[in-house]
Amino acid sequence: MSGTPTLEVFTDYVCPWCYLGDNRLKKVKKAYDINVKLVHFPLHPETPPEGRSLQDLFNCGPKEIDNKNVHMRGLMGNEGLPYSNRTHTYNSRLAQEIGTWADTQDGGEGIHDKFFEAYFVEGCNLADTDVILNVVARAGLKPEDARIVLEERLFKRAVDEDWSKSHQYGITGVPTFNIAGKSLVGAQSVETLAHLMDEVGAKKH
C-alpha cells in the first residue's frame, strides 16, 4: 500500500467499549504509521437531555447494573484506566459536535480523552453545556469559541455526515475499526488491531 492508510474509528463518548478500545488504539498508533479519523456514531440518540438510567436502558434491576459495573471496572483496571460506577447514559450529540470542532483546532485532539473521563470517571452529563465547556477548557481550548459553536450549531452538518456514514456502512456496534476495506467490531486487543495493520500493509515506526 502506498501512502499512509487512514483508520476510521466509529465511536461514541458514552460507549464503555469505545473508551477501552481508544486506549488500546493509542498503543497501536505508537507502533504503526497510520492516520486515525474518528467518525461519531449515534449510540443512544433518543436519550433525553437529562439522561436515562441504565436500569431503564437495559430493562434490568440494580443488581444487574452493579454486575456490569464490576465487570467493566475490572477490564478498565487491567488497562490502567480509571472508571467509576455508571448509573445513567447521556445524550452525547453536542459533545460530538464540539469534538469535531476540536479536531480543527491546534492540539484539539486531546479533547476526546477529556470527554471519556468526564463521563466514565466523573459521571458528568455530556449534554450539559457547562460540562462541555469545562471539558473544552481542560483540553486547553477556548470555551468562548466553543460556546459559539454550540449556540450556532456550526458543526451540526459534520456530525450529521458522520451519522449518515455510520448508516451507509451498516455500522451497528461501536467501536468499529475500518481500514482499507477491512473492519473489526468491538474493543479488540492490541494484538488483533496490530494484525489488522499488518494485513493492510501499514508501516511500522
pLDDT tops 60 at residue 2: no
pLDDT in the model for residue 121 = 98
Model pLDDT for residues 61-78, shown as the tens digit of each residue: 999 999 999 999 999 999
pLDDT tops 90 at residue 150: yes
Distance CA 92, CA 99 (A): 10
Query: What contacts 154, CB < 8 A, 6 or more positions away?
Result: 97, 101, 148
pLDDT tops 90 at residue 44: yes
Residue 3: pLDDT band (50, 70, 90) is confident
At 54, list the grid cell: 441504565
Which pTM was predicted?
Answer: 0.96
